[in-house]
Structure 1
Amino acid sequence: MAKYLDVKAAVALSSGTAALHLALRNSDVKSGDIVLCPSLTFSSSANVILYEKAIPVFIDADPKTWNINCVSLERAIIACKKRGKLPKVLITVDIYGQSEDYDNILEICNKYNIVVIEDAAEALGSEYKGAKCGTFGKAGIFSFNGNKIVTTSGGGMLVSNDEKFVEQARFLSSQAREPEIHYEHKELGYNYRMSNLLAAVGRGQLAVLDEKVKSKQEIFSRYKLALGDIEGLEFMPMASYGISNCWLTTLVINEDIAGFNRDSVIVALEKENIESRPIWKPMHLQPLYKEFDYYASENGDISQMLFNNGICLPSGTNLSIDDQEKIIDIILSINH
C-alpha cells in the first residue's frame, strides 16, 4: 500500500476508526483540545475526538465540492483564537471519494500551526493534483470495511511520510507492549492490530485496485448519462483539481423542480428490494453533537440541505449493467 500511495510508511489496523484514533493520539490531542472536523461525514470522523475528551468544532460544506468550506474553516479558527485557544488538529474528509482542496487547506492550517489528518476512508484510489488521497497532511487513514473498494471485512490503515509517527501507531496498536521478554506496559495501548488472515485478503485485492476504481467511475458515468438531464437532479460536482474514485454515486433532488423528492426514490427502490439511503446526516444535527459549535456557510446550512435532499444510489463494483438499468428505469418512472 505504501508503494501504491508513494508514502514512506504504513500500518494495517483493525478499522479506519482505529487509524484515525491513533492519528489523534500521535498528534498529542488531549482533554480540552479543539479539533476541527467537517459536519458532513460519517460519525467515526467525529467520535474519535471524543475518545480523547477533546472538543469537536464542525465546519460546513462547500456546495461546489461538498468538501470543507474554507471560508467557514478560517472563520472557525479565528473565532477559536479570539477565545484564547487555537485548534490543535483539523480532520479533513475526502467525502464519497472526492478530495479536499489541500492547497487551500494546508495554507490555512500552516498559518495557524494546525496539524492536518486526512480521513481518506472513502477515497482509496482518488487523486488531488496527481497525488493519491491519503498522502496529505501529517497522516492519512483508510478504511477496508465491507463496503469499501478494497475490503478486509473490517480493517483500516494509517499512512504517513513520518516513519516515527507510523511506528508509534504500530506500537500503540499492540497494547503498547514494551520490547521486553515479559509483558511490560508504560502507557495506554489498544488492541488495534489487523490479523494476518485479513491482511492477506486485502493484499489480494490491491492487484486489481485500479480496475475497481474504473468500475466505480463507470457506474457513476452511466447514472449521470441516464439521469443527468432530469431537471431538479444534480449529481455531486466533480472538482477540477482532482480525480474521484466515485466510491458512491450521490445526487440531490430539488422537489420543487423535479416534482418528486429523495424519499420517494428510496421508497420506490425499496419496493423492488433495492437499497439506497440518504447521504450522511451531518454531525451538527446528531443528538450526540448538538451542543458543539458549528460554522455554517455564508449562504446557509449547506450540509443540512445536502442531507435533506441527497441520496446515495447503489454503486458496488458487483453491480451489473442490467441491475443498474433497472434502478435507472425505476427513477425514470417516478419522473414521469
Structure 2
Amino acid sequence: MGDRIFLSSPHMSDEGYELEYVNNAFDTNWIAPLGENVNEFEKELAIKVGSKAAAALSSGTGAIHLALKAAGVGEGDIVFCPTLTFTATANPIIYQNAIPVFIDSEYGTWNMCPKALEQAFERYPDVKAVIVVHLYGISADMDKILALCKKNNVVLIEDAAESLGTYYKGKHTGTFGDYGIFSFNGNKIITTSGGGMLVSDNTERVEKVKFWATQARDQARHYQHSELGFNYRMSNVLAGIGRGQLKILDQRVKKKQYIFQYYKRKLSNLDGVKFMPSNDWDQPNYWLSSMTLSGNIKPIDVMEALERENIEARPIWKPMHLQPLFEKYDFIGTDVSEKLFASGLCLPSDTKMTDEDLERVTDIIKGLWLK
C-alpha cells in the first residue's frame, strides 16, 4: 500500500506567503477576529473576482446565512435551491425559518436546470430568493438563470464555494447574483483552514452583513444590541492564511485543470466512462474531477478499489430531496440529479499529486476493466 492520496487537502504555498501574514498577526498581537489581515483579505478577494465589496466570515455556510438575511428572507418565505449540492447550501434556509424548494439538475452543467427553475416559478410565484450552485467548479447556465430571476424580480445568491477561479463567459462565478459566496474550508481550492467570504456590489448591504456578523453590536459606549447578531467574523490569523493562499490561486486552478485533463486523457476510452460536462462559455476550476459510469463497473467498485490502495474517492453529492432532513419539502424536476448521484464519483484531485500519483490512480481504475 502506497502513501495516502487525498481527495483534496490543504496545500500551502511553497513561497511561505501565508506565514508572512500570520507572523504579522502574532507580531502585532492581532490574533482575534478583525485586524489588518481581515480588512486586506476582503479588499484583495473583491479585487480578484471583480466585486465592489466583501465580508470575511467564519464559514461559507455563515455567508449563505447572512446573504439570505440580507435578501430579507424570513419565516415562511420560499427559497429555491439546487437539490444536487452539499447540505451547507440548504441548511441556512432552515436557519431563517424559511421553506426550501429543491430544483433538479440538467446534464449539460450538472447544475440547476433552467427549465425546472421556470416550472418552480410557475408553481411558487411568491418565491423570495434563489440560490444557485456551481458544482465541483462547473458554472451553471447563468444567462438563463439570471433572466428568470430578473423576470420574476427575485434575489439571486450564488453559492460559489466550489468554484473560486471559475469563469462564466470571462467573468468570475460568484459575481453575477446579488450576493456571492466563497468557501475556504480545508478541502477547497484555497483555504484558511475554515472560513468564507460574502461578496456583492451592494456595499451598503455588505456593511450590514459585517454588523450582523459581529454580534450586531450598536455604536455605544456600553454593550447595546437592537438586532439579532451572530459570531461569524473571520479571525485575523486565518485571514492571513487566506491572503497568502490568494497569491497562488491561479497556480492551484492550473493544477486542478491539469489533473482533470490527465484523468480524461487516460480514462475516457473505458466503456461507460463519461466525465463532468464542459461548455464553450465555461472555464471551470475543476475543484474535484468527477465522472459517471454506465457500464458493468459501478462507482462503488472504483471507490473500494482505490480505498484498498489508500486512495480517497467520494460519491457525487446525494440530492437534498432524498435526504431525511429535507424529504418533506417540494422538489421540482425529473430524475437527473438522482441518476447523477447513482452513477457518479469524485476522483482524488489533490493539488499536491504528482504524475506518479495520477498514474497510480488511473492504473488501479483501468485494472477494473481488465478483469
**Do the two structures share a fold, i.e. TM-score over 0.5?**
yes
How far the C-alpha of 1:187 sits from its partner, in A, is: 0.4
Matched length = 326
What is the distance in 1 between the residues matched to 2:128 and 2:135? 22
Matches for 1:232-271 after TM superposition, within 5 Å: 232-255=272-295, 259-271=296-308
In structure 1, list runs of 5 or more residues that go unmatched.
Answer: none
Matched, 1:31 2:71: no
How far the C-alpha of 1:251 sits from its partner, in A, is: 0.4
Residue equivalent to 2:112: 68
TM (norm. structure 1) is 0.96
| Amino acid aligned to 1:47 | N
Contact 1:72–1:296 (8 Å) recurs in 2: yes
What is the distance in 2 between the residues matched to 1:312 and 1:242? 20
Residue equivalent to 2:246: 206
Contact 2:109–2:141 (8 Å) recurs in 1: no
How far the C-alpha of 1:319 sits from its partner, in A, is: 1.3
Residue equivalent to 1:305: 339
What is the distance in 2 between the residues matched to 1:134 and 1:70? 18
**Aligned match of 1:294 in 326, 331, 347?**
331
**Aligned match of 1:273 in 291, 297, 310?**
310
**Aligned match of 1:189 in 199, 204, 229?**
229
How far the C-alpha of 1:14 sits from its partner, in A, is: 0.2
Runs (4+) of structure 1 exceeding 6 A deviation are none
How far the C-alpha of 1:167 sits from its partner, in A, is: 0.5
How far the C-alpha of 1:294 sits from its partner, in A, is: 0.4
Residue equivalent to 1:133: 173
What is the distance in 1 between the residues matched to 2:273 and 2:132? 27
Contact 1:98–1:239 (8 Å) recurs in 2: no
What is the distance in 2 between the residues matched to 1:90 and 1:239? 23
Contact 2:217–2:224 (8 Å) recurs in 1: yes
Contact 1:121–1:141 (8 Å) recurs in 2: yes
What is the distance in 1 between the residues matched to 2:223 and 2:181? 29
| Amino acid aligned to 2:214 | S
TM (norm. structure 2) is 0.87
Matched, 1:161 2:204: no
Q: Secondary structure at the match of 2:63?
A: helix
Q: Secondary structure at the match of 1:217?
A: helix
What is the distance in 2 between the residues matched to 1:202 and 1:101? 29
Matched, 1:12 2:40: no
| Amino acid aligned to 1:303 | S
Q: Secondary structure at the match of 2:93?
A: helix
Residue equivalent to 2:320: 283
| Amino acid aligned to 1:68 | M
**Greater relative contact order (CA < 8 Å, ≥ 6 in sequence):** 2
State the percentage of identical aligned residues: 52
How far the C-alpha of 1:27 sits from its partner, in A, is: 0.6
1:34-78 CA-partner distances (Å, limit 9, x unpaired)? 000000000011100000010000000001110111111010110
Residue equivalent to 1:107: 147
What is the distance in 1 between the residues matched to 2:110 and 2:212? 34
What is the distance in 2 between the residues matched to 1:321 and 1:168? 47
Matched, 1:120 2:154: no
| Amino acid aligned to 1:294 | F
How far the C-alpha of 1:320 sits from its partner, in A, is: 1.4
CA RMSD of aligned residues (A): 0.7
